[in-house]
Each structure stands twice: as structure tokens, then as C-alpha cells.
Structure 1
Amino acid sequence: MSDILPVHHRPLRVRKVHSLRTFIWLAKGARDFARAPLVGLSHGLVMAGFGALMLWLAWDRFWVLAGAMSGFLMVAPILATGLYAVSRALLRGEAASLSAVWQVWASLDRRLVRFGILLMALGTGWVITSAALITLGVSPSVTTPADFLTRVVLAPEPGFFEIWLLVGGLMAAPVFASSVVAIPLLVDRPVAVQAAVLTSWRAVMANPICLSLWALIVMTLTLLSLGTWMIGLIVVMPVLGHATWHAYRDLVVQEAL
């Protein structure tokens, strides 16, 4: 698919929605997962398998693993691209199968490719930053999850864990604001990347409490899934992916370009 798209001078309009719409998005995401379980489970298994691989490779290097797991949250929205396509197909009454997912990925949409590369770069940047903070700020070195829990999270001297969370939040917040609406918008409509990102930011600024709650829900459910040795990701990730599509549909006014 060409990335040379018509230029639209009129910005896309966004809606202000009630903060509790987040739970409606979750309910709709769960419904879409139930309607197309094969697609959802295939995505969930891939993401859980990727998480398990990271866990296996870096189990004794938790200073890398801690950043990699949280960096995974930055990249996950682009990995859910196929789920957006399936939710769109369900909304239109079309066949919602793996073929819909394949059409999106096989298109090699340069807008999505560029966005994906950017998210991977940002995720890698956080992994490096997190590893540097933990290796330089904690002594003796953190090598296992138990070390991270006792020497960082439950450290008797408060401060370091809070700084680690703050730095991670400062890096993740603009990524979330740029992608929460932008990626499903790019899947759905022929708009330029810049327009999609600006629309996403305007949606966040129009709904700061709602989307802050949504970010908290996404982070909490993902962390709980990681705590189940990745098994929870098999269901949580597709539900969140489908729910993100419905968030986009609620927040961006559907109108002719």
C-alpha cells in the first residue's frame, strides 16, 4: 500500500466521552474475542510465547528483563493491528477470520511499518535506559526477579523504585498518547501518520481522565497477565486489542474525508 495519501487540511474531529466508557470498551473487546476466538487466541498465543521467550532468555539478567517487559507495552499496539481489522470486519458484518488479519499484514502499509519501527526504537530505548538505571543504581547487582523485588521494589530506602517508575512513565506517556487512537485509525482510514498522531493527542487532551483510566486498566491487566507466567496474555491481549478498536470508534468522529 502506498504511503502517498491525499492531504486533508481539515483535522479529524474527536469526541469527549464519559470516563466510564473504558469499561464498555472492555466489554465490547471481550464480545469481539468471543465472536472470533481463533483470531484472538492466535494473537494471544504469539504474544504470550514472545513474553515467555524473553523470560527464558533473560531470567538471570532481570535488569534487562524488567525493561523488556515494560517496553513490550510500547510495541503491543502495533502487534494488535490484525485485531483492529477483525473488529472492523465484525462491525461491518463481514467475515472475521485470519484472512482479514493477513490482508492487513500482507499490505505492507508503509505508514504502519514506519510507526512500528518507531515504537520498537522507543521500546529499545526504554530497555537500555531501564538496564542502565538498575545496573548503576542498585548494588549488589540485580539478576533474578527475587532480587528486583527485594532490592528495588521493597528496598528499605525509598526513592530508586519511584525514580525508575517515573522515568518509565515519562517515556511511556507520549507513546501511549501518540498511539492509542493513531494505530487503529491508520488501519481504518487513509490518513497520514502525522494526522493520525495529532488526532490521537487531541483525543487524549479532550479526555484526559478517561484515557488515563484506560492506560491504568491496560497496564494493570498486562502486569497481572505477566504475573501468571504469560498465560493470562493469551486472553488479555486480544481483549485489549479489540477494546482499543472500540475506543478509537468512540473517540474519533466517523465522517467522510
Structure 2
Amino acid sequence: MSPPPAASPAPSPAVNVVPLSAPLQWLALGWRDLLRCGCLSLAHGAALAAFGLALTAVAYSHFWLLAGAFSGFLVVAPVLATSLYAMSRAIEHGGTIGWQLLRDTWLSWQQSRFMESGGYWCLVRFGLLLALAGTGWVMTSAALITLLAPAPVNSPVDFLRHVVAAHDNYLFEAWLAMGGVLAAPIFASSIVAMPLLLDRRANLLLAVLTSWRVVLANPGAMALWATLIMLLVLIGFSTALLGLVVVIPVLGHASWHAYRALVDVSRLPERPRAD
């Protein structure tokens, strides 16, 4: 008996070129979705703000670790926003927005086999990779600060004094450069990968390569988008994390609209919606 024919690979989706101002429109659409979803969206921001406050309380006296943990948040953020993408997707298709949608979105991985091409396990594997990258950055950041800082860094004041404002070394510049070296390829790999995996039956490699193609086709718009994300997250951090209650859902919903504007997925089979 001859073996069954191998499944044909999913076609690569077309990548669109968007104007430089497109990220501002995505933010406006993200704000619109936040208003439509209300408390369900805000709950995501509140949960992350609460986690940040708990992390601060635990690691406040070890700011060398806290600095890496907060900056590593940007690495795993695309995974944490998965249910925000699902809500924006439901709005787009006229679906029902509710707690059941969130539950089904986070538990859908149980409905497919681990090695199934294009199954929900792709989201889980991608999330684990981002979590591993985030953990690696936290440990690298902590090692860099503790080994090279001229004095112990145990508080935000110590970080500002011995790392940011130090004139006799380039530790802060090295810390930023190392973070950029890690963040740039992760951003390029994840800019549309998670929404694509949620929306369409695509494998992980296809989603990551599509993200890279998006960045290469839209360098200006992607640079502005990355800058806006960093600025908004910094605003959230600077308000004792309370600003994250709004910033996180707006960015999550906006990321869905970025994906929809940047990628033409009409040739890929749609993944069944949880709603």
C-alpha cells in the first residue's frame, strides 16, 4: 500500500504596503474596540497591572532583576494579548463578546494534536518560545547590571544613579543595546504572527516568515509602530502601572487591526472562531 500523499504546504499570504501614518489609525481602531468590549478588555490591562504591582512588591529591593522583568514584558506581550485579538476578530465578524469567548480562546489548544500542522498548538509553541526569550533577557539583564554596575543596584534610585546617570561607564548604553539586539528580531518575528495563527490555519514557520516580510515591506511604518508601543508602555509604567489598564487593551486590539491591514490572508483557510 502506498503511503498517503503529503499535505501541500499552506500558501504564503500576500503582504500589503501601508502608509507611514497607518499605526495611528490602528490605535484609533484599538480604542474603538476597547469602548465596544468595555470591562472585558480592561480586565486584561488590570490583570497585567496587578501582576506588575505584585512583581514590584516582591523584587523592589532587587531592581537589577525588576528592570529586566519589566522590559521583558514587551517580549511576551503578543501572547498575553491573544484574547484581545479574539475579541477584535469577533467584532469584525459580528460575533458575541463575552467570557465564554475568552475561555474558548485560551482552551482551544486542547482540541488539536500537538504535531498537527496549523493546529492551535502552534500558538502554544510560539508562546513558549517568546517566554523563553523573555526569561533569557531577564537573566542576561540581571547579570549585566550586577556584574558591571559600580555599586549594588537594589532600588530605582540606585538604577538611575549607577546605571542611567553614570558618567564613568557605558553600562546603560550597553544595556539598551543588548536589549535592542534581542528585541528587534523578536518584534520582527511576532508583529503579525500571533494574530495570524489565531485567525488562520497556518504553521509557526509561515507566521514568523510573514512577520519578517511585513517588516521588510514596511520599514517606516513598523519603526513608528514599535516606537508608539514603547512610548505607550513607558507611559503605563510611569503612572505606577495604572496606565497599563488602558494601554494594554488598546495595543492588543490595535495589533489585530495592524495584522488585518498588513496581511492578505484570503488564500489561507480560516480557523473556526470560538464565538
Scaled to the shorter chain, the TM-score interval is: over 0.9
Query: Which of 119, 127, 150 is the equivalent residue of 1:116?
Result: 127
TM-score normalised by length of structure 1: 0.95
Deviations 1:129-188 (A, max 9, x none): 000110011021100001101111111235221111000000011111111100000010
Q: Between Structure 1 and Structure 2, how many residues are aligned?
A: 253
Note if contact 2:82-2:195 (Cα within 8 Å) is conserved in structure 1: yes
Q: Look up the equivalent residue of 1:255 and give its one-letter code.
A: S
Distance 2:126 2:74 in 1: 15
Structure 1 residue 38: Cα displacement: 1.7
Amino acid at match of 1:110: W
Aligned to 1:54: 55
2:94 pairs with 1:101: no
- The residue aligned with 2:42 is 41
* Alpha-carbon separation, structure 2, partners of 1:230 and 1:6: 47
TM-superposed deviation, 1:9: 4.9
1:135 aligns with 2:146: yes
1:102: how far off?
Answer: 1.4
In structure 2, distance between residues paired with 1:121 and 1:10: 29
2:191 corresponds to 1:190: no
Q: Which residue of 2 aligns with 1:230?
A: 241
What is the rounded CA distance, in whole Å, between the counterparts of 2:182 and 2:8 in structure 1?
30
Separation in structure 1 between the aligned mates of residue 162 and residue 8 of structure 2, nearest angstrom: 53
Tell me if the contact between 1:186 and 1:196 (Cα under 8 Å) persists in the aligned partners.
yes
- Look up the match of 1:204: 215
Alignment of 1:77-88 (within 5 A): 77-88=78-89
* Cα 1:114–1:9 shift into 2, 3 Å: closer
**How high is the sequence identity, in percent, across the aligned residues?**
49
- The structure having more radius of gyration, on CA atoms, is 2
Letter paired with 2:91: L
**Amino acid paired to 1:36:** C
1:172 equivalent in alignment to 2:183: yes
Contact 1:6-1:191 at 8 Å conserved across structures: no
What is aligned with 1:239? 250
Q: 1:157 to 1:202 in 2, by over 3 A?
A: same
CA distance in 2, matches of 1:221, 1:163: 23
Q: Which residue of 2 aligns with 1:248?
A: 259
**In the alignment, residue 165 of structure 2 is paired with which amino acid?**
L
CA RMSD of aligned residues (A): 1.3
Aligned residue for 2:264, secondary structure, equals coil
3-state SS of paired residue (1:199): helix
Separation of aligned partners in 2, 1:86 and 1:165: 34
What is the aligned partner in structure 2 of residue 162 from structure 1?
A: 173
Partners in 1 of 2:92 and 2:10 — Cα distance?
Answer: 28
Deviation larger for 22-31 or 211-220? 211-220
Equivalent pair of 2:15/2:210 in contact (CA under 8 Å): yes
Aligned partner letter, 1:216: T
**How far off is 1:42 after superposition?**
1.1
Give me the whole-angstrom Cα distance separating, in 1, the residues matched to 2:106 and 2:142. Answer: 32
State the AA in 1 paired with 2:256: W
TM-score (ref. length: structure 2): 0.89
